[in-house]
Structure 1
Amino acid sequence: MALILGLDIATTTGFAWYDTDACLSAVRLGSFKIDGECYEARAGEMGQRIIKMVKQTRPDFVVIERPARNVMQHRKKTTDFAGEHEEMTINAGTALLLNQLTGAASAIVRAYQIPFEIVAPETWRKQFLGFGRRPGWSRKDWKKAARVRCRQLRITVTNDDQADAVGLAFAGPSCQTFKIVQARRTGAAA
């Protein structure tokens, strides 16, 4: 038996508690919003939220989605004196914030000596959805696919962050760190 906590970290963080011995629809879900006037304040709040969660219910393993490690360009519509047009822009702030929030959560989980793994979106999606990449798919398409999968499993989610957290938690048993921890527990029990 293992209790796995899946965390989809963002300014609205989704979480899912998955007991590997319970039926799939018994997953417990939630989400919380991170506020603060600066990145450091938000990271501090993330740390406090994770402390509260692991004190209330200590997981055996935690799966956290890996944030983007690079700054991505995207198209943005703008209007100026010449009219409306598209331009390429970057949003470095989002990448920086998500990495700080993930770092805060990882530090707390590690401080409590709870085994964890940071998992790429493609990896957990392959475990949960059956495929990790789809050319041409947007963020919206991935969110919809996770919600549809939850519906198929009779798991009621109220937002995209919870659906992604379910996928992360379900991918936990396939993580290398989880397998090592389970092997050690089995070897120690024998």
Structure 2
Amino acid sequence: MLILGLDQSITRTGFALYEFPGDERHMRCGSFSCKDGADPEEKCELFARQFKRLVGPKERRPDFICWERARRIISAYPKKPNPDLLGLGGDDPPVWTVNADQLLLQEIQGIIRGEAISYRIPHESVTPATWRAAIYGKGGGKLSRADAKAQAKAYCKALGVDAGNEDEAEAACIARWAATCSQQFRLLAAGVAA
């Protein structure tokens, strides 16, 4: 069965195709970006086109898709004050903002889910803490973003997976999690084997 693991974002989406059961060293990893879009809608459209190319061809369509679940809570932070307006009441009180790309992750996740439903591909999303704890072991779910990315590269290197960047490495780890920990995938695999 072919598993597609995804570590999706606007900046760079990593993907891994894992034929299970099979040797992890044969995982095919890659990545694509949609950050060149002029506005959020165009970025999401670029993502949708790239993703459709990944799952569309029937001869290599995955049997299961697993992706990193987007956070439901969006972090806000105070904007840096405008030095031209200091003392003039322009930035008093401070203005709060969010990372605009975080807002798009929910939409991107919807694109993935929609395509999976459209092609009738079984699918699941998994929180970063869940897959990292299962793959990296105790404490793995509490790693900082930078440490988790470095751990993914090290994990792939130890398995012999050719991941070109951290996002591809995390996608490979997510595919591995799906193969070894996902109840949905286990039920699917048992149904195929029966």
Do 1:70 and 1:95's aligned partners in 2 also have CA atoms closer than 8 Å? no
Equivalent position SS for 2:56: helix
Percent of pairs with identical residues: 32
The one-letter code matched in structure 2 to 1:121 is P
1:77 is displaced (CA, Å) by: 7.1
Do 1:69 and 1:95's aligned partners in 2 also have CA atoms closer than 8 Å? no
Structure 1's 79 and 163: CA in aligned 2 closer, same or farther, altered over 3 A? farther
Query: Please, what is the CA RMSD of the aligned residues?
Result: 2.3
Q: Which residue of 2 aligns with 1:27?
A: 27
Equivalent position SS for 2:42: helix
Do 2:76 and 2:96's aligned partners in 1 also have CA atoms closer than 8 Å? yes
Task: Kindly indicate whether residue 144 of structure 2 is the aligned counterpart of residue 138 of structure 1.
Answer: yes
Higher Cα Rg, which structure: 2
Do 1:73 and 1:88's aligned partners in 2 also have CA atoms closer than 8 Å? no
Structure 1's 79 and 43: CA in aligned 2 closer, same or farther, altered over 3 A? closer
Query: TM-score, normalized by length of structure 2?
Result: 0.82
Output the CA distance in 2 between the equivalents of 1:183 and 1:21.
Answer: 12
- Please state which structure has a larger fraction of its residues in strand: 1
Equivalent position SS for 2:160: coil
Do 2:5 and 2:174's aligned partners in 1 also have CA atoms closer than 8 Å? yes
Q: Which residue of 2 aligns with 1:4?
A: 3
Output the CA distance in 1 between the equivalents of 2:136 and 2:83.
Answer: 42
Between stretches 178-187 and 24-33, larger displacement belongs to 178-187
**Of residues 168, 178, 188 in structure 2, which corresponds to 1:172?**
178
Deviation string 1:4-39 (CA, Å, 9 cap, x unpaired) is 000111021000011113211111010001131222
Output the CA distance in 2 between the equivalents of 1:71 and 1:149.
Answer: 29
Output the CA distance in 2 between the equivalents of 1:49 and 1:31.
Answer: 10
Equivalent position SS for 2:17: strand
Task: Kindly indicate whether residue 65 of structure 2 is the aligned counterpart of residue 62 of structure 1.
Answer: yes
Query: TM-score, normalized by length of structure 1?
Result: 0.84
Output the CA distance in 2 between the equivalents of 1:43 and 1:158.
Answer: 24
Output the CA distance in 2 between the equivalents of 1:183 and 1:122.
Answer: 26
Output the CA distance in 1 between the equivalents of 2:96 and 2:147.
Answer: 22
Output the CA distance in 1 between the equivalents of 2:131 and 2:81.
Answer: 35
